[in-house]
Structure 1
């Protein structure tokens, strides 16, 4: 007789279905002596909620005709997730998020708000998932495994940035000029480039303002581009490197 699923939470309560023949009128289902709650019964199946337990156990069905042999069932520890990286991404979706922790090997779903996504299991300590398209804002992030649920997480979806103006508009080819950049959706800035070269340093002061220190660059006008977890945008004007 098959049992599905063959794994469940140590806390019990996992819906389990046992299929076979001559199962009508089942009077009990035990997981190594612990009674399961019967929720449905037909001549070919018994549905139950597993009791609490640990490790590998045998599930047995009892009817008026006797008791079946044991079916293997394994209790899985609930997941623990201390790290989600990155913790924000583009509202357009498609970003890869890495979730690390413990007891993740049986992960079946990761919910971003009301949207479930099937994860890729890398190991018992790591899963990855591609974000869905979602309106900007913070949503709950819930990891489902056969051992239980971890729901003490959040993920922030970010609209693409816009860069409107910066000052000063010129600086020396040696770099080192502090440039003040304003726009929208800048709080999650991950890079600022001048002509493709990353700023020596930058700081997001608010959602509409960042500062960046120019890198060395050859003479000429170059685009100023800001990249955030929501996307990238270049200022409408260029920055001019002078002697």
Structure 2
């Protein structure tokens, strides 16, 4: 208050109420603390000389305290620095924003209903309050979150095409906003618990990438590795055919065979052993009919293109001509039947005969020498050995 003759003032009134306190700064100036009141009142100064006859008016106005209704986001890293949006009412006169007892380093009043504030460093869950000349607001909860930690990925490998689901284990996963494989976001993910996330792997290039989780507390440090595997390549089979009964040992050559999970002959699974990244040995399973099937190799990286393997029926021997010959052998025997095209041997008992394949239904063989009596003649091909027909060795006549 400014005026004159204030020296020795004994009272200052706001209407009928005395000032809470006052100080006479000089003969022309008084500083006073207004008492509670309402409406418009006259302010007077009392000195030993009397009460001021001239006065000024002072208007009391109703000031509503601030109210907070929400904070977005409701959490952030312990290091602070997150910009949060506070919604409510009566915020236009904000003088301070506090996170617990700590004052926000900066804030911006957007409107009477919105304030933007930068979170200071902190820990745990605190109450955010806003102060205005009308008082201090109610609190809204804000949580200082810890940085996620990814300790393992299972399985830790899969095809470059992605699409498989893996389980991430670790900690501080609540509120996770992103899961990335290298620089590629997961196709989708679900936070199963604070220590477990299920994620669908995106497509990627062959090689190793780091899996990281981003949450309210920040982004996890690298440490969990996932391997993108290329599909195996099957280039050849040796032998490329075998019997209907199966059991043929087949060598598969190609690349990226490590971690093979299956070898199939058509739809039938084969027993196998991975010798190296480029070599597998497999035992052909039996088949119900002669013909070709596709052999494939499956790994976590996918399934190879197929290479043909032929199941062969055993040859059928129906007739011999002639059916007898000398003990010294040497006679030409014609064998008729079917499945002779791939003949590998002809036997007269235990003796091996030289032979010539005439067609798939006929061949000629030179009978080997042997003791007198009948022997079984058989034809062997990759498809098996025929049933035997009888050939007799006849001694020369004795006079």
- State the TM-score bracket (shorter-chain normalisation): 0.7 to 0.9
Counterpart contact for 1:172–1:241, Cα < 8 Å: yes
Aligned 8 A contact 1:80 1:102 in 2: yes
Deviation at 1:21, TM superposition (A): 4.4
Aligned to 1:52: 204
Q: Please, which of 131, 134, 151 is the counterpart of residue 305 of structure 2?
A: 151
Q: What is the root-mean-square deviation in Å for CA atoms of aligned residues?
A: 3.1
Which structure 1 residue ranges, 5 or more long, are not aligned? none
Cα distance per residue 1:189-226 (max 9 Å; x no partner): 333222223333443732xx242543643344432122
Deviates more, 1:135-144 or 1:164-173: 164-173
Structure 2 residue corresponding to 1:67, chosen from 219, 244, 247: 219
The structure-2 alpha-carbon separation of the partners of 1:241 and 1:100, relative to structure 1 and needing over 3 Å to count, comes to farther
Match runs of 1:203-218 below 5 Å: 203=357, 205-206=359-360, 209-214=361-366, 216-218=368-370
> TM-score with structure 1 length normalisation?
0.79
Larger radius of gyration between Structure 1 and Structure 2? 2
| Structure 2 residues without counterparts, runs of 5 or longer | 1-150
Task: Give the CA deviation at 1:65.
Answer: 4.5
TM-score (norm 2): 0.52
- Which SS does the other structure have where 2:247 is aligned? coil
How many Å separate the matches in 1 of 2:254 and 2:329?
A: 42
Distance in structure 1 (CA, Å) of the matches to 2:352 and 2:191: 65
The aligned residue for residue 31 of structure 1 is: 181
Matched, 1:138 2:292: yes
Deviation (angstroms), 1:99 = 0.9
* Pair 1:216–1:159, CA change in 2 (3 A): closer
Q: How does 1:1-243 map to 2 (within 5 A)?
A: 1-9=151-159, 11-13=160-162, 15-22=164-171, 23=173, 26-38=176-188, 42-43=192-193, 44-68=196-220, 69-136=222-289, 137-170=291-324, 178-203=332-357, 205-206=359-360, 209-214=361-366, 216-220=368-372, 221-238=374-391, 240=393
Greater length-normalized contact order (CA 8 Å, ≥ 6 residues apart) = 1
1:15-54 deviations in whole A, cap 9, x for unaligned? 2412314546654332322333236652323232342213
